[in-house]
Chains A and B, each alone.
Chain A
Amino acid sequence: MRVARKPFNPKRFFRLVLLYLLAAGGAVVMIFPFLWMVSNAFKEHVFVIEYPPQLIPTHPSIGNFMRAWTSNNFQLYFTNSAVVALTSTFFTVLFSAMMAYAFARFKFPGREILFFAILLVLMVPDMITIIPKFVLIKTLGLRNSLWGLILVYIAGSTSLNTFLLRGFFEQLPHELEEAMLMDGAGYFTIFLRMILPLSAPALATVTIFSFLGHWDEFTWALTIIDDPLKRTLPIAIYSFQGQHGTEWGLVFAAMIIALIPVLIIFIALQRYFVSGITAGAVKG
């Protein structure tokens, strides 16, 4: 009887309106800084902070975007960031899936202690070891090399993703695996043909998170990259801000350019990523 279509109910209607207003209000707070960034990016040649501030530029211009894009090797920084983020994400996901498979589906001597060690180290921020890592990368001759970024990014996010994927892999049905074993399939086949396909949502989630993390990483890149031709976007923006400190419109234009690919990837892959979270992170 409750399921029947309800007649118009003013109380319910106003409650809904209120809810939408609240949600919209929250959304405004969340995106207001971005609106502000966009607004200022369209104001060219402004060297002082406007007071009172104007959200809608009086003479909107795309001059800042043109200047940012042309003056600073931005295309190169894009390529660098893309190469680093994609390469390290691929290996991160591969290695953590392999590790997670071992932890989730096998019993072997040292399993508990090893997993425990990984968890413990996971609790320690990467920054803690930045000084010795700097020394290590110097010894390996990988300063000013994108590989110096890639290797460290892989190591830095493999532990967490192992932890995340292990939880997911543990819940996959054992029957299928046993059936495949009976058919003579090896463990690598099982890993490739069964575990990975069944875990697509979880893999998508860790892929996106890793990619975003690697795309945005700042401190390590700042520390090991001096060569301007090896810069990734975050350090390029930092350096750009240092050069044009008072010309915020120009700086914001550069930031927006850097933000666009992230937005595209996020919006395009959002579905996978949310389903991944639902499937992976929530299940108790």
Chain B
Amino acid sequence: MNIRRIPILLYVLVLLALVLSACAPASTTPPPTGVVETVVVEKEKVVTPTAAPEGPVTISFWHAYNADVEAKFLEQTIIPAFEAQHPNIKVQAVLVPYDQFRRKLLIALSGGTAPDVARVDIIWVPELADQGALAKLDETMTDFETLKDQMLPGPLSTNFFQGHYYGLPLDTNTRVLVYNKAMFAAAGIEKPPATVDEFLAACEKIKQLGEGKYCFADGGTYAWAVNPWIWSFGGDITDPQITKASGYVNSPETAAAYQFLKDGVDNGYIHPGIKGGGVDAWGGFAKDEIAMLLEGPWFPPLFGSQFPDKDYGLALMPAGKGGSISVVGGEDIVIFQQSQHKEAAAEFVRFMLSEETQLKWVETGQMPVLKSAGDSEVIKNHPFFGIFLEQLKTAKARTPHPAWARMEEKLTNTGQAILAGEGTVQENLDRLATDLDALLASSQ
């Protein structure tokens, strides 16, 4: 009996330890107000909500800055500068990887724990606004008109939804052609392709380099990847008023763009990862397996930090029938309706949009959205912004619509079906047009 007791004694001891440790969360869990207040960035110092009445307010700021360059800069340079200017406001920066961002945000919103401020993809603003998630900045911020007038009109417009501004632009970008100088030299290509025809000619030469060498790679058939080709071929997704897709997404021009991508994959020009399997595009580029990519202005700093010895060049998107048209990217900064600290949040927005901060960000490849920034020496003499600014002149935005997430899902699936050779391009696009029409109609 005694021997039998030993395990149970141990068991009881362990359980006792558990009970004691169980008390820990009880004492540190804040009252469930739905808003996180007790958290701070520093590990050692914990600020309790019951501090002095004028004690610091903590605002949460969600972003998808890349971890190695941009997020580091945010936490080491930007936020300390802000907190130095505003001793009463603490910023808790939360990095949510881009792929997880939209879902995480929607979960938080429906769970009542939205952040105070967030840096969101410009294409999500209509959906978030439509959900009633965002504060109308033109009503919340008294100095909104002043700020608004300082912004570049293109990026600013991405915040406008049904008569109100729900955010302000934070940074802008577009994709340009990045080409592998070593591979171009090996294949005997003298200059980056300016047109789609030259692009194809270059691809033929790259192909001659042998097995496992690809002319071009992209991560999939989502809009960010295929829209530049669609637009440059003269096609589009919807009419300008965003009421219907028929006649646009299944137009001969759009079909030609998809045909070009399909032929490219079939010929071995384009890395098959675009079919949906994904591709380590930067790795392949660094190892001279991929000759061209479309990339944004974050590419030079981040790629440079990973592959400091690799030489590459930048060029405009190859022009087709529709011109050289790339896709506008970028982020807006928004304040959430659920926020209890809209004043502090607005203060942070103002800080992020000040010329000083905007120009600081430049070293990480973030392009400013202030009209005045264009005249600054930093931008004029910038090593690589010139080409992006040039490309931005013609670049177009993805469809700003509350149902965009569902639309893009259909678009991506259709692209994958086309590249997989399931049905003709036209059949697939006709079906897509019907589906998109239905989505547009149902959300009106």
List A residues at the B interface (Cβ < 8 Å).
47-49, 73, 76, 82-84, 86-87, 89-90, 93-94, 134, 137-138, 140-147, 150, 196-198, 200-201, 203-204, 207, 223-224, 226-229, 238-239, 242-246, 272
Q: Measured between C-beta atoms, what is the minimum distance from A200 to chain B in Å?
A: 4
In the bound complex, residues from chain A placing their C-beta under 8 Å from that of B39 are 227-229
In the bound complex, residues from chain A placing their C-beta under 8 Å from that of B147 are none
In the bound complex, residues from chain A placing their C-beta under 8 Å from that of B29 are 145-147
Write the B266-308 contact mask toward A (1 if CB under 8 angstroms, else 0): 0000000000000010111011000000000000000000110
Q: Is the CB of B21 within 8 A of A83?
A: yes
- Residue B87 at the chain A interface, CB threshold 8 Å: no
Pick from A47, A84, A94: contact of B283, CB below 8 A: A47
Write the B1-33 contact mask toward A (1 if CB under 8 angstroms, else 0): 000110110010011011101101110010011
Pick from B25, B110, B286: contact of A48, CB below 8 A: B286
In the bound complex, residues from chain A placing their C-beta under 8 Å from that of B26 are 147
Interface of B is mostly: helix
Pick from A143, A200, A226: contact of B8, CB below 8 A: A200
- Residue B43 at the chain A interface, CB threshold 8 Å: yes
- Expressed in whole angstroms, the Cα–Cα distance for A82 and B32 within the complex equals 22
Known: A83-B22, A87-B22. A226 touches B7 (CB 8 A): no
- Residue B403 at the chain A interface, CB threshold 8 Å: no
In the bound complex, residues from chain A placing their C-beta under 8 Å from that of B321 are none
In the bound complex, residues from chain A placing their C-beta under 8 Å from that of B309 are none
Q: Measured between C-beta atoms, what is the minimum distance from A96 to chain B in Å?
A: 13
- Expressed in whole angstroms, the Cα–Cα distance for A19 and B29 within the complex equals 55
Known: A134-B111, A246-B282. A142 touches B36 (CB 8 A): no
Q: Measured between C-beta atoms, what is the minimum distance from A179 to chain B in Å?
A: 14
Q: Is the CB of A201 within 8 A of B34?
A: no
The 3 closest A-B pairs by CB, nearest first: A242-B97, A141-B32, A48-B283
Write the B92-114 contact mask toward A (1 if CB under 8 angstroms, else 0): 10111111100010011011110
Q: Is the CB of A200 within 8 A of B4?
A: yes
Pick from B11, B24, B98, B282: contact of A200, CB below 8 A: B11
| Given A197-B5, A227-B36, A243-B66, 7 extra CB contacts under 8 A | A48-B282, A83-B22, A86-B17, A138-B112, A147-B29, A227-B113, A238-B100
The A/B interface has a contact count, at CB < 8 Å, of 119
Which one of A76, A138, A140, A143 has the greatest number of beta carbons of chain B within 10 Å? A143
Q: Is the CB of B107 within 8 A of A223?
A: yes
In the bound complex, residues from chain A placing their C-beta under 8 Å from that of B107 are 223, 226
Known: A48-B280, A224-B111. A86 touches B21 (CB 8 A): yes
Pick from B7, B18, B43: contact of A73, CB below 8 A: B43
18 contacts between A and B (CB under 8 A): A47-B283, A47-B307, A48-B280, A89-B18, A90-B18, A143-B32, A147-B29, A197-B8, A198-B4, A207-B14, A224-B111, A226-B94, A226-B113, A228-B39, A228-B92, A239-B95, A243-B95, A246-B283
- Residue B67 at the chain A interface, CB threshold 8 Å: yes
Q: Is the CB of A239 within 8 A of B100?
A: yes
Interface of A is mostly: helix
Q: Is the CB of A90 within 8 A of B19?
A: yes
Q: Measured between C-beta atoms, what is the minimum distance from B420 to chain A in Å?
A: 24
Q: Is the CB of A243 within 8 A of B22?
A: no
In the bound complex, residues from chain A placing their C-beta under 8 Å from that of B97 are 239, 242-243, 245
Q: Is the CB of A226 within 8 A of B21?
A: no
- Expressed in whole angstroms, the Cα–Cα distance for A243 and B104 within the complex equals 14
Pick from A48, A147, A200: contact of B7, CB below 8 A: A200
Q: Measured between C-beta atoms, what is the minimum distance from B46 to chain A in Å?
A: 9
- Expressed in whole angstroms, the Cα–Cα distance for A227 and B112 within the complex equals 12
Q: Measured between C-beta atoms, what is the minimum distance from A51 to chain B in Å?
A: 9
Q: Measured between C-beta atoms, what is the minimum distance from B308 to chain A in Å?
A: 10
Q: Is the CB of B287 within 8 A of A87?
A: no
- Which partner residue on chain B sits nearest A148 by CB separation? B32
- Expressed in whole angstroms, the Cα–Cα distance for A49 and B110 within the complex equals 39
In the bound complex, residues from chain B placing their C-beta under 8 Å from that of A47 are 282-283, 286, 306-307
In the bound complex, residues from chain B placing their C-beta under 8 Å from that of A73 are 43
In the bound complex, residues from chain B placing their C-beta under 8 Å from that of A242 are 96-100
Q: Is the CB of A87 within 8 A of B111?
A: no
In the bound complex, residues from chain A placing their C-beta under 8 Å from that of B18 are 86-87, 89-90
